Copies of this chain bind each other. A is one copy, B any other.
Amino acid sequence: MTERVVPAARKTYLQGSRPDIRVPMREVPLTNGDAVVLYDTSGPYTDPAARTDVRRGLPALREAWIAERSDTAPYEGRAVRPGDDGLRAPVREGLLPRRPRRATGGAVTQRAYARRGEITPEMEFAALREGVEPEFVRDELAAGRAVLPANVNHPEIEPMVIGRNFLVKVNANIGNSAVASSIEDEVEKMTWATRWGADTVMDLSTGKDIHTTREWILRNSPVPVGTVPLYQAVEKVGGDPAELTWEVFRDTVIEQAEQGVDYMTVHAGVLLRYVPLTARRKTGIVSRGGSIMAAWCLAHHEENFLYAHFRELCEIFAAYDVTWSLGDGLRPGSIADANDEAQFAELRTQGELTAIAAEYGNQVMNEGPGHVPMHKIKENVDLQQEWCGGAPFYTLGPLTTDIAPGYDHITSAIGAAMIGWHGTAMLCYVTPKEHLGLPDRDDVKAGVIAYKIAAHAADLAKGHPGAQTWDDALSDARFGFRWEDQFNLSLDPDTARAFHDATLPAAPAKTAHFCSMCGPHFCSMKITRDVRRYADERGLDGDAALAAGMREKAAEFKAAGGRIHLPLSPGPS
């Protein structure tokens, strides 16, 4: 499988404390001899030295680390059944069968290790990616302020960390096609999303071939993979939520945990008594998982079985290191419903469940909305942080208005940037097709790019160390008319280059000391160079006295009544 490499970028690796800790980064060489090293989510596919084969899967990077810990063992595992791929579908040819691992004793979660004071290779790997000390990662994991999703059955991932004190992450949702496609096509959706910067992917497949598609994605994914097991469980019972049982759900969770799913969305906070709170909403329940559980609760007039069996699920999650993504099944689906009683009732229950999961050493994220106007965004983070003990918040958008179907990557990038700034740890992307249809390749890219913008804007606003280095490098290139560097440093070099070429297509324009806005005869950047020369000639540059002198002049001016008079001249001449 060939994956297009970012033009001009080189794969480089940061070496950790042991030979097998090699952290991939994207190095962008600049025409002035410098280089900028950026976080890289694209996996071995963008390394020309790596050989990848989707039918064999990626190398099992973490295999030795997991084995060395001697707290898990392979076992026979659950046999794959015809129903796993959808009731009416045959099991297709897939990858070679594997023997899954699970804990032989206590919790094998990264949080459990962190609490014991152990810095795992996974923690060191993630720390190197973030540019922080491994001890800091360990401490955040132990406190539950961060998660490092890493199922013991997904040894292929390049470990990463999600938490408010790290870079804001982006998740992209992918799902199987209505018409069964090839293993290459299914894997391509994941590599395409991570190529543009997705930090995790969620496989939201439904219908046929769910099990097989997931196997393909997991074996080839360098990023953590999340799922909503409820989607598969409901397929197993013929699509009728009322037919769901705890046993079917439990079986599905084990099936997926054995495959290596790193985090699972579970709508355990949709309690029976909350369901009527949605009756008078503008848009009721819009979460698929939330509505499935609401339907089940109403059909049986019993409490949500996910809530009832929550501790059993905690034990399973501890045995594989599956990270919780506690679903927000009652999230608002419209501006009118934002921050209402139903939403916050569920969030409070998420808080209770987060505390229970902590007893089991589980890693926990909390999912959040949805559709929220700007002035109600911060309250969402503040309450989640308070009620859920600082656990990572993982939000969909939020969309800041309902009036722009077709552009909801933008309506939601606004909310995502803001909620990221206020403390959301991971942003679930929204594509332009939201509310309208299934995203295609272009939509996935548009969604990921919009969310990388939101995440990076949030990193800047949070003052994440090093975030501004990237902006500075690009702005330096822009100011210096280093067009190629400007393209190569941008989130989407292809588009930046194409847009430039649409106006000034000739090759010499790439090195021209002007741009199409002002043309060659007049250039504001050229004038700034003159300003610098002017300042240099008068000894003003690099001189702190300059600004002070200016302030003096300004004070004189104000003292004189602020009336217009002139000339006021700066500096000594």
When the two chains form their complex, are residues B273 and A566 in contact, meaning their CB atoms are under 8 A apart? no
A546 to B564, CA, bound (A): 68
A564 to B421, CA, bound (A): 34
A498 contact set on B, CB distance < 8 A: 406
When the two chains form their complex, are residues A414 and B413 in contact, meaning their CB atoms are under 8 A apart? yes
A104 at the interface (CB under 8 A from B): no
When the two chains form their complex, are residues B568 and A460 in contact, meaning their CB atoms are under 8 A apart? no
A454 at the interface (CB under 8 A from B): yes
When the two chains form their complex, are residues B407 and A449 in contact, meaning their CB atoms are under 8 A apart? yes
A280 contact set on B, CB distance < 8 A: 541-542
When the two chains form their complex, are residues B503 and A433 in contact, meaning their CB atoms are under 8 A apart? yes
A502 contact set on B, CB distance < 8 A: 433, 437, 440
A474 at the interface (CB under 8 A from B): yes
Interface residues of chain A: helix, strand, loop or mixed (majority)? helix
A284 at the interface (CB under 8 A from B): yes
Name, among A334, A404, A486, the residue most crowded by chain B CB atoms within 10 Å (CB to CB).
Answer: A404
A89 to B312, CA, bound (A): 82
When the two chains form their complex, are residues B336 and A472 in contact, meaning their CB atoms are under 8 A apart? yes
**Ordered nearest first, which 10 A-B pairs have the shortest CB separation?**
A284-B528, A437-B503, A303-B566, A291-B524, A334-B475, A374-B461, A279-B535, A406-B495, A291-B527, A400-B457
When the two chains form their complex, are residues B400 and A541 in contact, meaning their CB atoms are under 8 A apart? no
A406 contact set on B, CB distance < 8 A: 490-492, 495-496, 498-499
A241 contact set on B, CB distance < 8 A: 522, 527
When the two chains form their complex, are residues A374 and B499 in contact, meaning their CB atoms are under 8 A apart? no
Stoichiometry, as copies per complex, reads 2
A61 at the interface (CB under 8 A from B): no
Q: How many residues of A contact B (CB 8 A)?
A: 141
A interface residue numbers (CB < 8 A to B): 206, 234, 239, 241, 271-288, 290-292, 294-295, 298, 301-303, 307-308, 310-311, 333-336, 341, 345, 348, 352, 356, 373-375, 400-407, 409-411, 413-414, 417-418, 421, 432-433, 435-438, 440, 449-450, 452-454, 456-458, 460-463, 468, 470-472, 474-476, 478-479, 486-487, 489-492, 495-496, 498-500, 502-504, 515-519, 521-522, 524-525, 527-532, 534-536, 538, 540-542, 546-547, 550, 553-554, 562, 564, 566-571, 573
CB distance from A525 to the nearest CB of B (A): 7
Name, among A410, A411, A571, the residue most crowded by chain B CB atoms within 10 Å (CB to CB).
Answer: A410
Given A414-B414, A414-B453, 14 more pairs with CB closer than 8 A: A273-B550, A273-B554, A283-B525, A334-B479, A335-B475, A401-B456, A401-B457, A403-B489, A404-B453, A411-B457, A433-B499, A435-B486, A436-B500, A437-B503
When the two chains form their complex, are residues A532 and B496 in contact, meaning their CB atoms are under 8 A apart? no
When the two chains form their complex, are residues B402 and A279 in contact, meaning their CB atoms are under 8 A apart? no
With A375-B461, A401-B453, A478-B283 known to touch, is A550 a contact of B274 (CB < 8 Å)? yes
A435 contact set on B, CB distance < 8 A: 478, 486, 515, 517
Q: Out of B294, B461, B499, B531, name the residue touching A285 (CB < 8 Å).
A: B531
CB distance from A43 to the nearest CB of B (A): 21
A285 to B522, CA, bound (A): 13
User: Which chain B residue shows the least CB distance to A450?
Assistant: B410
